[in-house]
Structure 1
């Protein structure tokens, strides 16, 4: 896998930087591990143009930790030196999550995508907050009619968390929903390409629409959250629609909206001086 290869490359880069390309396992101690973390925070790639995000650093640390745990299990070393205290490990990124604004959603709606079902699935997720795994697993027997006899809603067990979510379907969401087939069949059964291919198609589509942000499929979920908050939904309701276990997760989106508001207000600074 690409992620594993990248992790190996960073370890080799670190070993070269400390002039120990052939270090023995027994020489890998806590100081080595702390040095590796410090290296990840500052190392560059793509000819020095990019640095690693905190999330990527955490992934690489977890890869090396798992490899050393395997070495312990196989009797190659006595203990895993990467068992660091939480404060010593790279922190999660709590900052900006990329999403589409209302105007940008309109832009992508008006732009053709090379694979129509990718466009439909992505926009459906923008209005429901469903992850890609849930889009793939959603079946027609999970779509129900509300007591008013008009509103449709989804009752779905999330693939990632196993939590049940109940999501009313807006008119906008329904526009991007395929025509109904048999109850047990998947709603987006036509989405038969790999996730990697979906991301490639999304990048092409966003470029055609003039969107310069790095938009992945998961950004549709961020878009759903920020869209609901923009339109006045409360945090509790948004957390339930997204299936968050804790409202603290949803509060991240509220902070994003606060930053966006502040940035918008600051646009008028010195305009009338």
Structure 2
């Protein structure tokens, strides 16, 4: 059987049996198409694909100077495809069983936003809001929405994709509970506990009530549609250029800051793992490496060297 037909079956399996998200399905499709286009693999029968051809393809990925994380993901998709074929008894021997692939990813510390910069940004936006004269204008409504977005990013640590896709039924603005649908359609609950943020959410809901009830997404753009991830990025970029001269902010940096600041306050890492929606604690542990402020506080106050007095 040709690879193209089998990939169609695999994509059906991923969509309807594994219930993978649209974003994941698109990524799978891109990686699988790249694989079968390499040296016209699509014209080969599945039994002609052995470990030597797969090793050649992996070597070709390195030739494009792709990041280790990207190469690792592409290999994982191909491996998942062959595991599916093996499970369905379409192939007798899974070529990945004979392959030992170890890709070492460089440890990249997450970039965070200093707490003083978050305060500076929010202070700037709230000042505009308080002094805004035409509170019936769309410009005012958009400002309130923008503040809501930044407050939620910082208050909850949600991914920008999760924030964009919050449904009206998933948020209780009175008590501040939000149901987040994360990667792999895993759901978690995040609470907004700050009184001022909950007050802002109520004002936003009142301003956008009609649009929200039409599309049933909580965050709405100028056209009355769900706000996109890219629109959120561009909005943050706009305020970043106004408030700061040489800082670059992204939605994900608010997520990193959320985790790091909670660690600095002594919150157990497993609670943070749950709030971020990480399936593995090892993913959350990266934040312990950037927690330098808390480390300095501990070493300065707890290290026994501070009690040495022979030089005093």
TM-score tier by shorter-chain length is 0.5 to 0.7
How far apart, CA to CA, are the structure 1 residues paired with 2:97 and 2:237? 38
Which secondary structure does the structure 1 equivalent of 2:95 belong to?
Answer: coil
How far apart, CA to CA, are the structure 1 residues paired with 2:234 and 2:273? 29
1:237-268 residue CA offsets vs partner (Å, 9 max, x unmatched): 43343344554443221222249968xx9xxx
Residue of structure 1 in register with 2:63 after alignment: 43
Change (3 A) 1:221 1:31: same
Residue of structure 2 in register with 1:188 after alignment: 218
Q: Is the 1:120–1:177 contact (alpha carbons within 8 Å) kept by the matching residues of 2?
A: yes
Which secondary structure does the structure 2 equivalent of 1:124 belong to?
Answer: helix
Q: Which runs of 5+ in 2 are unaligned?
A: 1-25, 129-138, 300-312
Change (3 A) 1:157 1:103: closer
Question: What TM-score does the superposition give when structure 2 sets the normalisation length?
Answer: 0.55
| Root mean square deviation of aligned Cα | 4.6
Residue of structure 2 in register with 1:99 after alignment: 112
Which secondary structure does the structure 2 equivalent of 1:106 belong to?
Answer: helix
Matches within 5 A, 1:84-95: 88=101, 90=103, 95=108
Q: Is the 1:121–1:188 contact (alpha carbons within 8 Å) kept by the matching residues of 2?
A: no
How far apart, CA to CA, are the structure 2 residues paired with 1:78 and 1:196? 45
Question: What TM-score does the superposition give when structure 1 sets the normalisation length?
Answer: 0.61
Residue of structure 2 in register with 1:170 after alignment: 194
Matches within 5 A, 1:24-43: 25=44, 28-40=49-61, 42-43=62-63
Change (3 A) 1:60 1:237: closer
- Deviation of 1:128 after TM superposition, in Å, equals 1.3
Q: 2:177 aligns with which of 113, 131, 154?
A: 154
Residue of structure 1 in register with 2:14 after alignment: none
How far apart, CA to CA, are the structure 2 residues paired with 1:22 and 1:141? 46
- Deviation of 1:133 after TM superposition, in Å, equals 4.6
Which secondary structure does the structure 2 equivalent of 1:130 belong to?
Answer: coil
Residue of structure 2 in register with 1:124 after alignment: 152
Which structure has the larger Rg? 2
Change (3 A) 1:196 1:207: same
Q: Which runs of 5+ in 1 are unaligned?
A: 16-20, 45-50, 146-151, 266-273
Q: Is the 2:72–2:103 contact (alpha carbons within 8 Å) kept by the matching residues of 1?
A: yes
How far apart, CA to CA, are the structure 1 residues paired with 2:173 and 2:231? 31
Q: Is the 1:120–1:176 contact (alpha carbons within 8 Å) kept by the matching residues of 2?
A: yes
Q: 1:55 aligns with which of 69, 74, 87?
A: 69
How far apart, CA to CA, are the structure 1 residues paired with 2:188 and 2:28? 31
Change (3 A) 1:199 1:30: farther
Which secondary structure does the structure 2 equivalent of 1:97 belong to?
Answer: coil
Q: Is the 2:68–2:104 contact (alpha carbons within 8 Å) kept by the matching residues of 1?
A: yes
Q: Do structure 1's residue 81 and structure 2's residue 105 form an aligned pair?
A: no
How far apart, CA to CA, are the structure 1 residues paired with 2:91 and 2:113? 49
